[in-house]
Structure 1
Amino acid sequence: MLKMALFFLVVSLVAGFFGFSGISAATASIAKILFFIAIVIFLVFLVLALMAGQAIF
């Protein structure tokens, strides 16, 4: 998912460079949403891993 966010970020930068502001804004917002979803999933798995690590001891 993070790769998709980086892909949309690159597409947004290229579209902005060539003057397609509407496409640039849309892909930037998609990249931002995917990035935050990836952060939330990472935090959920981090908490689950820490809880599983405590259950062993």
Structure 2
Amino acid sequence: MLRWALTFFVIALIAGVLGFAGIAGAAADIAKIIFVIFVVLLVISLFSNAIRGKPPER
């Protein structure tokens, strides 16, 4: 999921440099939403593993 957020961020940067404001804004918004979802899922995963007493997998 983090890969998708980074992909949309790169698309937003490229579109912004080329002057496509609408596409850049939409891609940046999508990247922000996906990144927030990723962070929330990461925190939930860390808490659930801490409650179960399992160490992080490597």
Fold equivalence (TM over 0.5)? yes
Bigger Rg over Cα = 1
Paired residues in the alignment total: 54
The TM-score with structure 1 as length reference comes to 0.92
Pairwise CA distance, 1:11: 0.2
- Percent identity of the aligned residues? 44
List runs of 5+ in structure 1 lacking aligned partners: none
Secondary structure of residue in 2 paired with 1:4:
helix
Runs of 4+ in 1 over 2 A off after TM superposition: none
Pairwise CA distance, 1:7: 0.1
Q: Which protein is richer in helix relative to its size?
A: 1
List runs of 5+ in structure 2 lacking aligned partners: none
Partner amino acid, structure 2, of 1:25: G
The TM-score with structure 2 as length reference comes to 0.91
